[in-house]
Amino acid sequence: MMHVLLNWLNRRQTSKETQRMFESLLSLAWIVEAKDPYTGGHLWRVSQLAHTVALADKWTHEDRAAVTAWGVFT
């Protein structure tokens, strides 16, 4: 999933600083999630659900990538 998010950032022509910040936030979110077995897998499930709904609703590739990315931070 991380490669999808990074590709989305690259296509949006974000700065390297923004990309590094996003990677850091994603890494931190995964670390926090890994410490709690109750919520383990939440990031993945929410992102996949968001992607599946966007795909079924025929969103553009870029919009699906964006909603998948933001699903990680919910």
Mean pLDDT of 47-64: 89
Which string of DSSP letters, residue by residue, matches 24-52? HHHHHHHHHHHH-TTTTTHHHHHHHHHHH
Which pLDDT band holds residue 12 (cuts at 50, 70, 90)? Answer: low
What average pLDDT does the structure give for the chain?
79
Burial class of residue 68, CB neighbours in 10 A (0-12, 13-18, 19+): buried
For residue 55, the one-letter residue type is L
How many domains are there within the chain? 1
Residues comprising the chain, all counted: 74
Helix (H) or strand (E) holding 7: helix 2-11
Domain span at 55: 2-72
What is the distance between the alpha carbons of residues 40 and 73, in angstroms, rounded to a whole number? 14
Query: Is the per-residue pLDDT at 69 higher than 90?
Result: no
> What is the model's pTM?
0.62
Mean pLDDT of 2-26: 72
